Amino acid sequence: MPLKTINGIKINYVLDGQKHCPTITFVHGQAFNLSSWSRQILAFKDQFQILRIDLRGHGLSEMGGLGNALRMSDMAKDIIAVWDHLKIEKSHYVGKSLGGMIGFELAKKNTIRLLSLTLVATQGKMPDGSLERMRGNVEVYKSSPLKMGLAANQLLDRYLTKSLKENDFSGYALLRENIIGMTVDAYAFSSEAINAMDYDDYLTDINLPTLVIAGELDVPTPPSRMHLYGEKIRGAQWVVIEGAAHLPNFEKPKEFNLVLSKFLKQLRK
């Protein structure tokens, strides 16, 4: 895996697929890493260059020294810097949860770099009480001997369907390793960034092909919450993946890949 100093920190990324084809950039959610997109590679590698990035403080990427001052704009600048490093002028962007939040920032300030925007299990503003809840979780994780092992147990119970844990042991283990590999501080800093954002008032300003994907059984970002983005973003396509929770791309990859492939195919016409 390439691990390069980009935008002042070491950032890990992986390229797959066809170098001279359009690029899809997949960006993961909080506490996960680029391997959470592993179930998309085979579906898109023949017609696209696939770029997966570990966000700062996630996977193998460094956190940097921003601490609690970390914001979505900083992580968006990391994405732009990776594109510049790889000489990618424009890319399709697919962001899940935290990755989708960064997608809002890119769509607001760097539309010229986007071929399209896909928002997966995400939201543009956190509900009241979220900051206090997440800060409370951080204090619990810090005081626990399990650290992010405790976080993995709690987050996966909240994020996944029961059937994945019971029937997809290797997949569950991979996602658990994602979370355990993160530090509590990195989780805390990204939590501050998540709760500082507010993009819901800018939705009508987004002017590029957009796909909004929700998981039917998602608890943190249920379809009833995400439907706002399908309604307010001009021309946005809206899809709910049945039987999926907060990681529809991982839980229902066949269905997710079909939806994304259909959307991207329409853009070629």
Q: Residue 256 sits in a domain of what CATH number?
A: 3.40.50.1820
Q: What are phi and psi of 216, to 5 degrees?
A: -55, -40
Q: For 63-105, how does the pLDDT look when each residue is reduced to its tens digit (9 = 90+)?
A: 999 999 999 999 999 999 999 999 999 999 999 999 999 999 9
Mean pLDDT of 35-61: 98
Question: Phi, psi at residue 241, to the nearest 5°?
Answer: -85, 115
CA geometry: angle 241, 245, 251, nearest 5 deg: 75
- Mean pLDDT (whole number) for 140-150: 97
pTM above 0.85, yes or no: yes
- Check pLDDT > 80 for residue 1: no
Coil, strand, or helix at residue 243? coil
- How confident is the model over 175-230, as pLDDT tens digits? 999 999 999 999 999 999 999 999 999 999 999 999 999 999 999 999 999 999 99
What per-residue confidence (pLDDT) applies to 114? 98
- Axis crossing angle, helix 130-143 with helix 184-196, rounded to the nearest 10: 180
pLDDT of 51 strictly over 70: yes
Q: What is the pLDDT of residue 105?
A: 98
- One-letter identity of residue 176: R
- Count CB-CB contacts under 10 A for residue 12: 22
90-99 per-position pLDDT tens digit: 999 999 999 9
Nearest Cα neighbor of 56 from 123, 2, 124, 9 is 9
CB atoms within 10 A of CB 128: 6
Contact 200, 108 (CB under 8 A): no
Residue pLDDT, tens place only, 223-238: 999 999 999 999 999 9
* Total count of domains within the chain: 1
254, β-bridge pairs: none
Give the residue numbers spanning the domain of 61. Answer: 3-267
Nearest residue to 214 via CA among 123, 149, 113: 123
| Cβ-Cβ contacts under 8 Å for 167 (sequence gap 6 or more) | none
Instruction: Report whether pLDDT(268) > 90.
Output: no
